[in-house]
Amino acid sequence: MVNIKINNTDVTVEEGTTILDAAKTKNIKIPTLCYYPDLDIKSDCRICTVEIAGEKGLVTACSTPVREGMEIKTNSPRVLNARKTITELMLANHDANCTACEKNMNCELQTLANTLGIDENRFESVLEMQELDTANTSITRNPNRCIKCGRCVDVCKNVQGINVLESMNRSHEMVISPKYGKYLSDEDCTFCGQCSSVCPVASITEKDETDIVWNALDDDKKHVIVQVAPAVRVSLGEEMGQKPGSIVTEKMVAALKQLGFDRVFDTDFTADLTIIEEGNELIERIKTGGKLPMMTSCCPGWISLVEQKYPDLIDNISSCKSPQQMFGALAKTYYAKKQNIDPKDLFVVSIMPCTAKKYEAAREEMSVDGKNQDVDAVLTTRELGKMVRQMGINFDQLDKVEFDDPFGITSGAGAIFGATGGVMEAALRTVSEVVNEKPLEKLDFETVRGLEGIKEAEVDLGGQKVKVAVAHSLSKAKTLADQVKDGTSPYAFIEVMTCPGGCIGGGGQPYNTTNAVREERIRATYQVDSDMKIRKSHENPVINKLYDDYLKKPLSDLSHDLLHTHYRKRNA
């Protein structure tokens, strides 16, 4: 243990602890900017600078380990002046038109300037306005707001292993930009949006579609329906000021009703449908000697990675569309017909924890009539939060409202799609019961849950031991994909989610997502599951009715037309 003094308070911490972490143990707040929990220590911004007695220079609290007897001042006039100066330097090269910014009142730079009490900038503006990157359907980059903290580069390179963002050039001409091209769409970007999630300012954001949705809601001729992904109900609360892990399903439905949606449906329903289709696809592949391991297809970032970097693995990917796109296809066919609505008057909106879902909805395959997209607009959890605030809804005071029929009756299996390992667990609940023809003794497959990067399980399918694996974050996905490519994969079925923690940690989720927050959202997700009456997809009565009335049977011709798709090699 090491004994130090911070602002004259005695602190005892383990050797190797940074000054920043040591200060946290005594609730001493040292402001940070490039620092982000769970990411690498960069110490580039120099904001967390502190003074150590006897040392001439200042040191950064995030990167400096404590030493015995160290006396630290976190708030001396010298420190404060340094922090102010550094912040002013950033502001002098930043588009500080705050009221025209998505992150106004939610911006780390603004908060910093405010707490430091910066009332004027001593330095003249050196900002040279650059062109925005709006060339893709998911993510907008505004280089004029970038403060070069490097969080996005770190998450793209080290967490996702994708490495499309890089610090280019030097001195004040340094920019963080796509590595080889001008736009993100010039690169092998999967549009996972993790960069937007960690950006302290609004330099990288989701492509805003709220105006499109407001216009559709205002159009009397349009029947506007909405589907909400499993992960949104355990995270929207944070947008509304609640604690991480708050479950807000019914209030969320109520809010969507107030926003004016004609029907509010649950993507959990098509998650159940995915399990039936995908589960049967897996059983068929195992029985008929089809391509194994089968790999999940729910996640568009993962699909992009395979199409760009692992085209040899395309046949390993389940042909099932994602729950979002199964919903879109059913809405524009089955639902439109049932409601007697011309599909072109039907406007389908999704609320997703994800930026890549915007890209997925815009893929040319995702159109049952070949003319209009099945899903017309995709909003992130953050964009839904924005609309609720724009509408002036008092979220906490809302009455509880249930999802609408018919796509509102769902199972716990669909609900856990939001957490890493959830698709695997949901599939195992159904596949093992179908194959083994007897009910499971225990529904919880705990070995595939949690934040461990790669998780494994072994299941008994009709006397055959089958190994399965789950990966989340693309760097971990690449580990499993490389095994498949090399022919060394011991697994029959692999679930992959692009984002750390799965969809609950998606790139479109509320800001300040850390592993601690992910844990809370995961806990809430399994709470939703265990509270459900139905917990297996094949026991969802509405799914069974859908097959009886319309699709006939899993993997039927109509199922293939509506619920399955194909992939192809793509180059940026």
Partner 1 sequence: MEQKIVSKRFDAINPLSIDDYLESGGYKSLKEALKRDRINIIEEIEAARLRGRGGAAFPAHVKMMGIAKEEETTRYIICNADEGEPGNFKDRQLMEKDPHQFIEGMVITAFAIRATKGYIYIRGEYDKAYSILEWTLEEARKKGYLGKNILDSGFDFDIELRSGAGSYVCGEEFALIESIEGKPGRTRVKPPFPTQKGLFDKPTLINNVETFANIPHILEMGGDEFAKIGTESSTGTKLVSLSGNVNNPGVYEVPFGVPIKEVVEKLGGGSKDGRKIKMVQLGGACGPIIPEYMLDLTIDFDRFEDFDSKTGAGAIIVMDERFDVFDVLLRVAEFFEHESCGKCTPCREGNLQLVKLVEKFINRKATQKDLINIESLARVMHQTSLCGLGQTAPTAILSTLKYFRDDYLDLIEHPEL
Q: Does the footprint of partner 1 cover residue 121 (CB under 8 A)?
A: no
- Residue 281 bears catalytic tag: yes
Which range of residues in 36-44, 518-526, 531-539, 558-566 is near partner 1 by CB under 8 A? 36-44
Please give the Cα distance from 271 to 133 (Å, whole number): 33
Q: Does the footprint of partner 1 cover residue 89 (CB under 8 A)?
A: yes
Please give the Cα distance from 185 to 17 (Å, whole number): 41
| 346: three-class secondary structure by DSSP | strand
**Tokens coding 443:** 């529904």
**Tokens coding 78:** 């010298």
Q: Does the footprint of partner 1 cover residue 65 (CB under 8 A)?
A: yes
Please give the Cα distance from 438 to 349 (Å, whole number): 39
Q: Does the footprint of partner 1 cover residue 56 (CB under 8 A)?
A: yes
Please give the Cα distance from 323 to 261 (Å, whole number): 20
Q: Does the footprint of partner 1 cover residue 2 (CB under 8 A)?
A: no
Amino acid identity of 416? I
- Residue 14 bears catalytic tag: no
Backbone CA torsion sign across 280, 282, 285, 290: positive
Element housing 4 (H / E)? strand 2-6
Strand 464-472 relative to strand 493-497, pairing:
parallel
**Tokens coding 73:** 């001042």
**Tokens coding 186:** 């010039």
Please give the Cα distance from 263 to 256 (Å, whole number): 9
Q: Does the footprint of partner 1 cover residue 171 (CB under 8 A)?
A: yes
Q: C-alpha distances in angstroms, 231 versus 266, 284, 296, 302, 410?
A: 11, 30, 17, 17, 14
- Residue 278 bears catalytic tag: yes
Query: CB 280 → partner 1: shortest distance, Å?
Result: 48
Site string for partner 1, 198-237 (x = CB under 8 A): ----------------------------------------
- Residue 365 bears catalytic tag: yes
Residue 36 near residue 45, CB atoms below 8 Å: no
Cis amide leading into 406 (omega within 30): yes
Query: CB 6 → partner 1: shortest distance, Å?
Result: 19
Q: Does the footprint of partner 1 cover residue 568 (CB under 8 A)?
A: no
Binders of partner 1 among residues 499 to 538 (CB under 8 A) are none
Q: Does the footprint of partner 1 cover residue 114 (CB under 8 A)?
A: no
Which range of residues in 81-89, 199-207, 260-268, 391-399 is near partner 1 by CB under 8 A? 81-89
Exactly one of 72, 90, 165, 461 binds partner 1 (CB under 8 A); that residue is 90
Exactly one of 53, 126, 132, 391 binds partner 1 (CB under 8 A); that residue is 126
Residue ranges of alpha helices (H) inside 170-235 are 194-198, 210-218
Q: Which of 278, 269, 276 is nearest to 328 (CA)?
A: 269
CB atoms within 10 A of CB 544: 12
What DSSP designation does 490 have? -
Of 206, 360, 383, 495, catalytic: 360
Exactly one of 93, 111, 258, 436 binds partner 1 (CB under 8 A); that residue is 93
Backbone CA torsion sign across 25, 31, 34, 37: positive
Of 48, 107, 156, 298, catalytic: 298
Q: Does the footprint of partner 1 cover residue 77 (CB under 8 A)?
A: no
Q: Does the footprint of partner 1 cover residue 78 (CB under 8 A)?
A: yes
Query: CB 40 → partner 1: shortest distance, Å?
Result: 9
What contacts 380, CB < 8 A, 6 or more positions away? 193, 206, 351, 352, 353, 354, 355, 506, 507, 508, 509
Which of residues 150 and 502 has its CB atom nearest to partner 1 in the complex? 150
Q: Does the footprint of partner 1 cover residue 182 (CB under 8 A)?
A: no
- Residue 318 bears catalytic tag: yes
Q: Does the footprint of partner 1 cover residue 86 (CB under 8 A)?
A: yes
Which of residues 106 and 121 has its CB atom nearest to partner 1 in the complex? 121
Which of residues 67 and 291 has its CB atom nearest to partner 1 in the complex? 67
Q: Does the footprint of partner 1 cover residue 122 (CB under 8 A)?
A: yes
Query: CB 202 → partner 1: shortest distance, Å?
Result: 19
Read off φ and ψ for residue 521, nearest 5 degrees.
-65, -35
Query: CB 198 → partner 1: shortest distance, Å?
Result: 18
Q: Which of 409, 414, 138 is nearest to 273 (CA)?
A: 414
Q: Does the footprint of partner 1 cover residue 22 (CB under 8 A)?
A: no
Which range of residues in 84-92, 199-207, 465-473, 494-502 is near partner 1 by CB under 8 A? 84-92
Which range of residues in 75-83, 155-163, 221-229, 531-539 is near partner 1 by CB under 8 A? 75-83
Footprint on this chain of partner 1 (rule: CB under 8 A): 41-47, 49, 56-58, 60, 63-65, 78, 81-82, 85-86, 89-90, 92-93, 122-124, 126, 147-148, 167, 169-174
Provide the annotated active-site residues: 278, 281, 298, 318, 357, 360, 365, 503
